[in-house]
């Protein structure tokens, strides 16, 4: 019995679609149908009920699905036992929301590339509802979103939630502390309507019987950052994302008397009895995300003149040896104070 044909049937049954299973295994729909037909001929039974357009397994097909999963799991065990230490060579389709992308996703992907040289990635950045649909349809293997996916063959793990904060322009928002009522008088930016941050923001003001002046729904963190820099308003963003973005933009985390609710993050993935690749990636993501908050705190320093203004901590560099020139001598400060260096000199 050809296990590739067994694998084809397993994914057709799991995704409830020949076309989706074909996309999952990078096959044409006709090639997928041919594999199922060949398997049916070898077994001498019909696995799929083809009497109407609605997908349905036959009674024999439902029984064989149990054995198909066991056969693929056994294949995985044999490969793991006989090929221990072999590098993972697989294509993985990963989806994530913007908040994850701008916080710890990129460093995690860089670590994956270093740990698994044979791993090929397909990355999709979308909203939570779209990611939920794609993982359920089988067009993605692993997603990081604000909600867990619920579907046959899909598992979910809860990751550390992301702390949220109000972000402003340091040139415009100079106060050390803000009351929620003060922020209500400003124009606010957050994610698209219906998203968890958007709902959280509205509930926060509603709970304190405040009506925000105006709330803008922006789906892109990059767009929100540019609008904040332009003085458009104050944005509600994940603190971890702000810490990473301060290397490219001048931002200030505003201290508020009311703390916004953290953004929940869930890793949802479709189980694959023939491979441990997805489980390996999920375990790696859980470990990496759990330490992301500590790494974020260690990567920033508070400005002594403004406790909420963020500046990046740069690693100390060894001093370069510069050959002395007889025609150029370093200037000495007449007052004994240290010289102020321009950015171009650093």
Give tens-digit pLDDT for 151-168: 878 899 999 899 999 999
Q: Judge whether 305 lies within some domain.
A: no
Q: Which domain CATH number covers 11? A: 1.10.10.10
Q: What is the pLDDT of residue 338?
A: 43
Output 74 or 341, whichever has higher pLDDT.
Answer: 74
Identify whether residues 112 and 157 lie together within a single domain.
Answer: yes
Identify whether residues 216 and 242 lie together within a single domain.
Answer: yes
Identify whether residues 253 and 272 lie together within a single domain.
Answer: no
Output 341 or 24, whichever has higher pLDDT.
Answer: 24
Identify whether residues 191 and 149 lie together within a single domain.
Answer: no
Identify whether residues 16 and 57 lie together within a single domain.
Answer: yes
Which letter does DSSP use for residue 345 in this model?
A: G
Q: What is the pLDDT of residue 25?
A: 85
Q: Is the pLDDT of residue 57 over 80?
A: yes
**Stretch among 79-83, 176-180, 183-187, 341-345 having the lowest mean pLDDT:** 341-345
Domain that holds residue 219: 164-261
Burial of 54 (0-12, 13-18, 19+ CB in 10 A): exposed
CA 15 remoteness from chain centre? 23
Q: Judge whether 328 lies within some domain.
A: no
Identify whether residues 109 and 234 lie together within a single domain.
Answer: no
**Stretch among 59-68, 132-141, 296-305 having the lowest mean pLDDT:** 296-305
Inter-axis angle of helices 29-43 and 3-15, nearest 10: 110
Q: Judge whether 308 lies within some domain.
A: no
Identify whether residues 153 and 236 lie together within a single domain.
Answer: no
Q: Judge whether 13 lies within some domain.
A: yes
Q: Which domain CATH number covers 254? A: 3.40.190.10
Identify whether residues 144 and 132 lie together within a single domain.
Answer: yes
Number of domains in the chain: 3
Identify whether residues 171 and 156 lie together within a single domain.
Answer: no
**Taking the complete model, does pTM exceed 0.85, yes or no?**
no
Yes or no: say if 101 and 131 are a contact pair by the CB < 8 Å rule. no
Q: Which of 23, 51, 81 is the last residue of a domain?
A: 81
Output 215 or 307, whichever has higher pLDDT.
Answer: 215
64-68 own/partner pairs: CB under 8 Å, 24+ apart: 64/9, 65/9, 65/10, 65/13, 68/6, 68/7, 68/9, 68/10, 68/13
Identify whether residues 156 and 168 lie together within a single domain.
Answer: no
Q: Judge whether 181 lies within some domain.
A: yes
Which stretch of DSSP H or E encloses residue 42? Answer: helix 29-43
Q: What is the spatial distance between Cα 91 and Cα 112, in angstroms, rounded to a whole number?
A: 13
Identify whether residues 31 and 178 lie together within a single domain.
Answer: no
Q: Which of 51, 81, 111 is the last residue of a domain?
A: 81
Q: Judge whether 336 lies within some domain.
A: no
Q: What is the mean pLDDT of the chain?
A: 82
> Residues 68-124: pLDDT tens digits?
988 988 888 787 777 654 555 578 899 999 999 999 999 999 988 888 877 888 999
Two tokens, residue 46:
């019909």
**Stretch among 108-117, 165-174, 307-316 having the lowest mean pLDDT:** 307-316
Q: Which of 236, 261, 286 is the last residue of a domain?
A: 261
The CA-atom distances, in angstroms, between 163 and each of 89, 100, 111, 242 are: 35, 12, 23, 11
Q: Judge whether 75 lies within some domain.
A: yes
Q: Judge whether 303 lies within some domain.
A: no
Identify whether residues 211 and 96 lie together within a single domain.
Answer: no
């Amino acid at each position: 019995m050809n296990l590739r044909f067994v694998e084809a049937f397993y994914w057709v049954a799991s995704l409830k679609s020949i076309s989706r299973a074909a996309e999952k295994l990078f096959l044409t729909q006709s090639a997928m149908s041919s594999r199922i037909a060949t398997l049916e001929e070898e077994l001498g039974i019909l696995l799929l009920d083809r009497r109407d357009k609605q997908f349905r397994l036959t009674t024999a097909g439902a029984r064989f699905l149990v054995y198909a999963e066991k056969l693929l799991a056994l294949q995985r065990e044999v490969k793991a036992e006989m090929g221990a230490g072999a590098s993972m060579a697989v294509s993985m389709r990963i989806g994530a929301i913007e908040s994850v992308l701008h916080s710890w996703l990129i460093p995690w992907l860089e670590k994956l590339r270093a740990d698994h040289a044979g791993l090929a990635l397909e990355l999709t950045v979308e909203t939570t509802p779209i990611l939920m649909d794609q993982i359920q349809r089988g067009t993605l293997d692993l997603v990081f979103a604000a909600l867990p996916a619920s579907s046959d063959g899909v598992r979910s793990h809860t990751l550390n939630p992301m702390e949220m904060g109000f972000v402003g322009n340091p040139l415009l928002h100079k106060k050390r502390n803000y009351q929620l009522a003060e922020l209500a008088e400003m124009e606010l930016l957050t994610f698209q309507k219906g998203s968890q941050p958007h709902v959280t923001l509205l509930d926060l003001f509603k709970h304190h019987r405040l009506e925000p002046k105006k709330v803008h729904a922006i789906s892109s963190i990059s767009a929100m950052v540019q609008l904040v820099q332009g003085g458009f308003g104050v944005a509600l963003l994940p603190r971890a994302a702000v810490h990473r973005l301060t290397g490219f933009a001048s931002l200030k985390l505003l201290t508020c008397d009311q703390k916004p609710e953290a953004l929940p993050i869930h890793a949802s993935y479709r189980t694959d009895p023939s491979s441990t690749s997805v489980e390996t990636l999920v375990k790696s993501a859980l470990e990496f995300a759990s330490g992301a908050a500590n790494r974020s705190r260690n990567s920033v320093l508070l400005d002594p003149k403004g406790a909420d203004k963020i500046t990046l901590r740069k690693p100390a560099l060894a001093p370069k040896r510069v050959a002395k020139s007889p025609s150029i001598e370093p200037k000495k400060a007449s007052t004994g104070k240290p010289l102020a260096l321009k950015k171009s000199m650093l």
